Structures are given as structure tokens and as C-alpha cells.
Amino acid sequence: MDLTRSARPSRDPSRHAAPQVFDYLRERIITLEMPPGTLISRAELQDLFGFSSTPVRDALLKLQEEQLVEIFPQHATVVSPIDLELARQAHFLRRSIELEAVRTVALGEDHAAIAARLDGVIALQDERLARGDLPGFDAGDRDFHRVLFDATGIHSLWLMVRRYSGHIDRIRRLHLPMPGKAERVLREHRAVAAAVRAGDAAGAQEALRTHLSNSLAYAPDLVALWPAYFRS
């Protein structure tokens, strides 16, 4: 990892130092800006943020807890390979919770208002895709699903799901540039929003189930294309 040319991240004095380093690294790991196998230099991180060694160490330990990095004491810290079994577990967790969330939203009195919020996210994704902004499009995908969690008042469960989703999120990010993938995401998002707007709980669940099932469907093809990115 060469951070010598990176712009210095803005420091938020209202937040502790370690979470800022954690968020910075996690986002770059999830988006594959730091792909599996990337060496992480603690000294470069200290220089980049202007923090001491302690928050950098704490951030890396938290990333290790999410199994996104591997720490070899007195040797190196490396971005971990994508683990398909961990991705499957995260997919099961997310599907189980989110299917109930979308059902609750569709049956709620304010389902039309929530559908409008989903439409707003879809419109932003559409704009970003037209500009070729895949990172922005991917961030919009996360925003879309967070709306469902927030609307049911279970934001803490969204944070839990996100904590376990690092490996499947990297699979999704690998697949996103493939021809037709982003357009399919938009179609599936629109189907979910339409069912929510209609108050159709069963339809919303089916549309969401179809959407989420695609996260792992293409994993074998991705392993064949990028074998070095995956745990063997």
C-alpha cells in the first residue's frame, strides 16, 4: 500500500481517532481499492492521519475481527482473501433479516412514503451510472438497503449486518463492472420499490429475494477470473 500520494483524510475532532482510521481502511477494502493481498503499512497510516500508533493498531485489530485483514505479528498486515464461506453466512444473515424488514415496510401505513425514499435513491444511482461512477453507484446500493432497515427502526441490525458483510460486499463489487450487472441492480431495486408502494408484502419479499440471490450466483465465475482474490 502506497499512501504517500494520498490526500490527507479530513480529521473529525468530535470522533475518536481509531474509528476514523477503521472507516477509511474498511471502505477501501470493500471497494477493492485495496484488493486482497495488499500490504498495509502502519507507519504510512500514522503519517497520513497524523495519529499515534495506538489508534492505527486498534483500527487494524477491529478489521481483523471482521476478518478483512490478517495480522502477522512483527511481520506484516495484509488485506485478507475473500472467503466464500463467510460470504455465504453473511448472505444468510442479511436475507433473513431484510426479508422481514421489507415485509414490515410494505404492510406499514407509510409504505408509500418509504417507496418514495427508495425511488430517490434509485434516481441517484441512475445518475451515477450514467456518469460511469461505479463507486457512487455502489454506495447508492448500500443506501437503498439501509432505507429498509431504518424505516423499520432496526438501524442497529443494519450495523450488525454490515459488520459481517465485508466478504460478500467484495464479491458484489467485483461483479458490478460486468456487462449488464448495474442495470440489473436498478431493475431489481425498482421492483422492490414498486411492491412496497403497492403495499404488496409478498411481492416485495419475492423481489428482494431475487435481488439478494444474485450476490452469490456468479461467485464461481468471479473465482475463475480472479483466483488470487479468493481463499483457496
Q: pLDDT, tens digit, for every residue of 61-96?
A: 999 999 999 999 877 899 999 999 999 999 999 999
* Edge-to-edge order in the sheet of strand 76-79: 39-40, 76-79, 69-72
In DSSP terms, 39 is beta-bridged to 78
Judge residue 73's burial from the number of C-beta atoms within 10 Å of its C-beta, 0-12 exposed, 13-18 middle, 19 or more buried. exposed
Spatial contact of 115 and 78, defined as CB atoms under 8 Å apart:
no
Length of the chain: 232
How many helices and strands (H and E) does the chain possess?
Answer: 11, 3
Residue 40 CB neighbour total at 10 angstroms: 23
Residues linked to residue 72 through DSSP beta bridges, in sequence order: 76
**Topology of the domain covering 84-229:** Four Helix Bundle (Hemerythrin (Met), subunit A) (1.20.120)
Closest CA to 23 of 53, 51, 59, 54: 59
The predicted pLDDT at position 192 comes to 98
Average pLDDT rounded to a whole number, residues 209-224:
91
Nearest to 122 by CA among 203, 215, 194, 181: 194
* The pLDDT value given to residue 232: 79
DSSP 10: P
For residues 51 and 122, the model is more confident at 122
Most confident of 37-46, 187-196, 215-224: 187-196
The segment(s) of the chain belonging to CATH 1.20.120.530 are 84-229
Q: pLDDT at residue 46 above 70? A: yes
Helix axes 84-107, 134-151, angle to 10 degrees: 50
If you search the block for the grid coordinates 408484502, which residue do you land on? 201
Residue 3: is its pLDDT beyond 80? no
Record the cell numbers describing residue 25, joined without a space: 481502511
Q: What is the pLDDT of residues 148-157, one digit of tens each?
A: 999 999 989 9
> Would you say residue 106 has pLDDT above 70?
yes
Q: Which residue has the higher pLDDT, 206 or 4?
A: 206
The pTM is what?
A: 0.89
**CA distances for 103 relative to 133, 146, 187, angstroms:** 31, 15, 19
Q: Over the chain, what is the mean pLDDT?
A: 92
pLDDT digits (tens, 9 = 90+) for 107-135: 999 999 999 999 999 999 999 999 999 99
- Residue 217 — very low, low, confident or very high, per pLDDT cuts 50/70/90? confident
Q: What's the whole-number mean pLDDT along residues 198-220? A: 94
Identify the architecture of domain 17-79 in CATH: Orthogonal Bundle (1.10)
Q: Report DSSP state, residue 177.
A: T
pLDDT for 74: 78
Query: 97 in helix, strand or coil?
Result: helix
Grid coordinates belonging to 182? 448495474
Q: Is the predicted pLDDT of residue 5 greater than 60, yes or no?
A: no
Query: What pLDDT band is residue 141 in, cutting at 50, 70 and 90?
Result: very high
Q: Where in the chain is the domain with CATH 1.10.10.10?
A: 17-79
* Cell output for 156: 442497529
**What average pLDDT does the segment 142-169 reach?**
94
Nearest one of 211, 229, 99, 102 to 170, comparing CA atoms: 229
Residue 158 in grid coordinates: 443494519
Band of residue 7 on the pLDDT scale cut at 50, 70, 90: low
Q: Distance between CA atoms of 88 and 63, rounded to whole angstroms?
A: 19
